[in-house]
Each structure stands twice: as C-alpha cells, then as structure tokens.
Amino acid sequence: MSHDPHCIFCKIIAGQIPSRKVYEDDDVYAFHDINPWAPVHFLIVPRLHIPSMAQLLPEHARLMGKIMLLAPRLAIEQGCQPYPDGGFRMVCNTGIQGGQEVHHLHLHVMGGPRPWLKG
C-alpha cells in the first residue's frame, strides 16, 4: 500500500492536515513535530506509506539513504549548531515496544541548546 487513507502522516503529506513544512521533494516530506522535545524537532518521512523500518526492502535503500543525507543538511538549516559542539539526535521509533505511535516510517531530528524535554 503506497498510501493509507487512515494514516495521519499520509494526510499531512497530501495537505489534508496542515503542517509546518521544512522540506519536500518527489520522495520525501519533512515538517516540524507538533509536540517538540527539543528547540529544533522535525520529522522526515517518505511519501510512500511504509509502516516502519520493519517493512523496509532492498528497493528502499536509495530512499533511506536520501533521508539520512538530508538529516544533517536540514538540521543546520533549521538552526542546529555545527558538529562537533552542536549537532543533533536522530530517532526512528519502530513498533510498539520501540515507542512508535504513528505507523508511517519517520525519522525524528532533534537539536539545539540543552536541556531538552526528553534526554
């Protein structure tokens, strides 16, 4: 299933639910988390509805590589300070025991001056 009509992130990607856009291209959408844990906290999601990392296939390697390469670039654009004194944290919760609440694969990117709400 490339799109799930009940998925909140599919609705955000389709513009049916408003979001604060960070970046978009043909493969990827990035937006600010509605409930940030850190001064900078945005999510990078594939447009394709992949429920979690547990469903990744070899054909998704380029897409996931793109997301990983985007993270440091967007982190700086969103105000994270440069490595090594600044930097950012990436989190990808997977499954219920992994703390995943929205079942559309997403990478959290968090940064900015500490302390943060979580961690």
Query: Would you please indicate which residues are annotated as catalytic (active-site) residues?
Result: 106
Report whether 27 contacts 69 (CB < 8 A).
Answer: no
65-104 positions binding ligand 5GP, by CB under 6 A = 93, 99-102
34 binding partner (options Zn ion, ligand 5GP, none; Cβ < 5 to 8 Å by kind): ligand 5GP
Q: Residue 84 in 3-state DSSP?
A: coil
> Which pair of tokens denotes residue 83?
């490595």
Q: Which partner in ligand 5GP, Zn ion, none is near 31 (CB below 5 to 8 A by kind)? A: ligand 5GP
Q: Does 8 bind ligand 5GP (CB under 6 A)?
A: yes
Tokens 């955000």 appear where?
12
Q: Which of 41, 47, 49, 108 binds Zn ion (CB under 5 A)?
A: 49
What whole-number distance in Å separates Cα of residue 113 and Cα of residue 115? 7
Question: What single letter denotes the amino acid at residue 62?
Answer: R
Q: Does residue 104 touch Zn ion according to CB under 5 A? A: yes
Backbone φ and ψ for 76, nearest 5 degrees, come out as: -65, -45
In the complex, the residues that contact ligand 5GP under the rule CB under 6 A are 8, 17, 19, 31-35, 93, 99-102
